[in-house]
Amino acid sequence: MKLLPFILICASLASVSGQRASAQSYTFQTLQYPGAVQTYAQGINASGVVVGYYLDTSGSAHGFYYSAGTYAAIEYPNSSDTWVYGIDSNKVVVGAAHIVRGTVPVTVAFVKQPGGSFSQFSAAGKLLTVGQALNNSGTIIGYLQKGEQSSAVYSGFEQQSSGTTTIAVSGQADTWAMSINDAGAIAGYAGTGIVYTDPVVGFVLSGSQTTTYSYPGALQTYFTGINNKNQIVGYYANSDGSKNGFTFAGNVFTAFSNPAGIATFPQGINASGAVVGYFCLSDSSTAGFIATPTN
């Protein structure tokens, strides 16, 4: 559910009041790709290199790197849209692209090497496969869509050199695997039905053990990033439509909010505790951010 649903989220939040502050202090830096209408930061590696995507004036998506004040484009060849979600310590990135296969439009996952070469992968017979994150061992996680959009079912996957494993949270209709750390712990979320109206839980899969979590009092909990210290970031949604971010460590949720926005959606966290994501402004536009811990 990270393929462009978030313009609608921001558009619905103009009247949402501020949320309680996090106990951890951060310095926030806004990211706006030059000329972009919307910017979404998605992943950050140990060196602080950020990846994400932006929307142009036509609504098409384009991937990017950001490092030390410089942006660089990432475009999957012959695609109408490129979304970049994850990056490892060697600057290998993973994402998804919208292409036409024969006469059929499909979304495929890809890996891009630092030298510029792309490799594509997709689940057999599936119209949508998304590469969401990878760790430094080369394990890739993400999700795929089964069936047509009107009756779609989503399941996560973990792809290693030995093969691909399906990830499905017991008792949930849909599962999205969103992040993986170097120990192989996977974070994501799962739901029982229509994601924006039914309950959603965050989960962590470690080995064969899956544990689900819910932000206190929230209808929906989305785990979107996990680092090598097992610190997690994500966001929640309440039944009244209000939404905002959080961090989760030691089984404790802590509110996380960019003071420049009306709602904050953390997407990734590195081992230093730097958080990336995007936030909604009062005019319903969206910008990315890097939040660096200060204490």
| pLDDT for the residue 7 | 40
Distance (Å, rounded) from C-alpha 169 to C-alpha 205? 9
| pLDDT for the residue 14 | 37
Q: Are 19 and 287 in contact (CB under 8 A)?
A: no
| pLDDT for the residue 93 | 98
Distance (Å, rounded) from C-alpha 213 to C-alpha 215? 7
The answer as to whether 17 is a domain residue is: no
Band (pLDDT 50/70/90 cuts) for residue 194 is low
The answer as to whether 116 is a domain residue is: yes
Q: Are 237 and 246 in contact (CB under 8 A)?
A: no
Band (pLDDT 50/70/90 cuts) for residue 80 is very high
* Number of domains comprising the chain: 1
Q: Give pTM, 2 decimals.
A: 0.92
| pLDDT for the residue 124 | 74
SS3 state of residue 291: strand
Distance (Å, rounded) from C-alpha 268 to C-alpha 44? 6
Whether residue 216 has pLDDT greater than 80: yes
Q: Which domain holds residue 188?
A: 6-11+42-293
Q: Which residue has the higher pLDDT, 150 or 162?
A: 162
Structure tokens, 276: 């990336």
| pLDDT for the residue 12 | 53
Q: Over the stretch 44-63, which tens digit does the pLDDT of each residue have?
A: 999 999 999 999 999 999 99
| pLDDT for the residue 82 | 98
| pLDDT for the residue 18 | 36
The answer as to whether 115 is a domain residue is: yes
Q: Are 291 and 28 in contact (CB under 8 A)?
A: yes
| pLDDT for the residue 221 | 97
The answer as to whether 32 is a domain residue is: no
Whether residue 250 has pLDDT greater than 80: yes
Percentage of residues in the chain with pLDDT exceeding 70?
Answer: 91
The answer as to whether 35 is a domain residue is: no
Band (pLDDT 50/70/90 cuts) for residue 127 is confident
Largest CA-CA distance found in the chain, in angstroms, rounded: 54
Whether residue 196 has pLDDT greater than 80: no
The answer as to whether 34 is a domain residue is: no
Q: Residue 144 to residues 52, 116, 170, 199: CA-CA distances in angstroms?
A: 19, 25, 17, 20
For the chain, helix, strand, coil in percent to 5 are 5, 55, 45
Mean pLDDT value of segment 133-152: 89
The answer as to whether 153 is a domain residue is: yes
Q: Over the stretch 12-38, which tens digit does the pLDDT of each residue have?
A: 553 333 334 446 899 999 999 999 999
Q: Residue 236 to residues 94, 107, 219: CA-CA distances in angstroms?
A: 25, 27, 8
Of the candidates 83, 78, 13, which has an alpha carbon nearest to the alpha carbon of residue 54?
A: 83
Return the CATH number at 222. 2.120.10.30
The answer as to whether 170 is a domain residue is: yes
Whether residue 99 has pLDDT greater than 70: yes
Residue 284 amino acid letter:
S
Whether residue 1 has pLDDT greater than 50: no
